Amino acid sequence: MLAVSPGRSTFLHIGRMGPNPRWRIAAHSHAFHELIVVLRGCLRLRLAGEEVRARPGDLLLYHAGCVHAESSDPADPAETCFFSFQGPEAAAWPRRMQDHDGRVRQLADWLYVDRHESGAEARQARDAVFHSLLCELSRLCARGARASDLVADLGGYIQQHLAEPLPLARLARQAGLSKFHFCRRFRQEAGRSPMEEVRVRRMSRARDLLQTTSLPMKAIAAAVGLSDEFRLSHLFRRYHGATPSSLRRKAGAG
């Protein structure tokens, strides 16, 4: 078990759960905090008496002592990354957050790949990544506190329809606003334009598919609503600083 202490928190363990339509675990709790990063599929859970369905991009935080039960949706099995930690920071964070930019996913990937590395330099590297992950969670928590129903609802709508054309007019109709008022209000509340939100979510989903599937580039482009793999490569380099093929090679090597 890893023991790294950035600030006042201690990183304990990280692991992954592959897609299994029969996977389930009865109600239980932990003496530590646990964060679930949903990578693919649908994860069903019962948390504090509430039934929740979590999908890619969702972050689930089980505070120490929180009773929760989980199961994978048989029709769309979940794949998750999970890690446990101790510390006071998480006490004020909500049970559910959205990894809008995929940063938590990326940081969790790095922690997972390096989980067995030993030596002082490896421990220092994990320390830095874990500290960055906590900072990102804190940022998401603050952002979520400011987010409006408009941003949350449109974010969910975009995520569900990524493979389809999502022009501004369609999003404005979904919000029940004129294009002008929709753009102005969304930018004020989300900090970026609606179309930028679409692109960010498309590239986050593309990265997930590149790292977790063997789908060809053309199929991935179609799955995230892009016309071809050339458009995918252009946007992917812009948002992630690497080509899709180089990221896939790196994921395969890890």
pLDDT at 139: 83
Which residues of the chain are in CATH 2.60.120.280 domains? 10-146
What would the CATH number be for the domain defined by 10-146? 2.60.120.280
SS3 of the chain = CCCECCCCCEEEEEEEECCCCCCEEEEECCCCEEEEEEEECCEEEEECCEEEEECCCEEEEECCCCCEEEEECCCCCCEEEEEEEECCHHHHCCCEEECCCCHHHHHHHHHHHCCCCCCHHHHHHHHHHHHHHHHHHHHHHHHHHHCCHHHHHHHHHHHHCCCCCCCHHHHHHHHCCCHHHHHHHHHHHHCCCHHHHHHHHHHHHHHHHHHHCCCCHHHHHHHCCCCCHHHHHHHHHHHHCCCHHHHHHHHHHC
Q: Taking the chain (254 residues) in consecutive chunks of 10 residues, what is each chunk's mean pLDDT?
A: 52 90 90 91 80 84 89 90 87 81 87 86 87 88 67 85 94 92 86 88 88 90 94 89 84 60
pLDDT at 4: 38
Whether the model clears a pTM of 0.75, i.e. scores above it, the answer is: no
The matching CATH number, chosen from 3.50.50.60, 3.30.300.30, 3.30.70.20, 1.10.10.60, for 149-253 is: 1.10.10.60
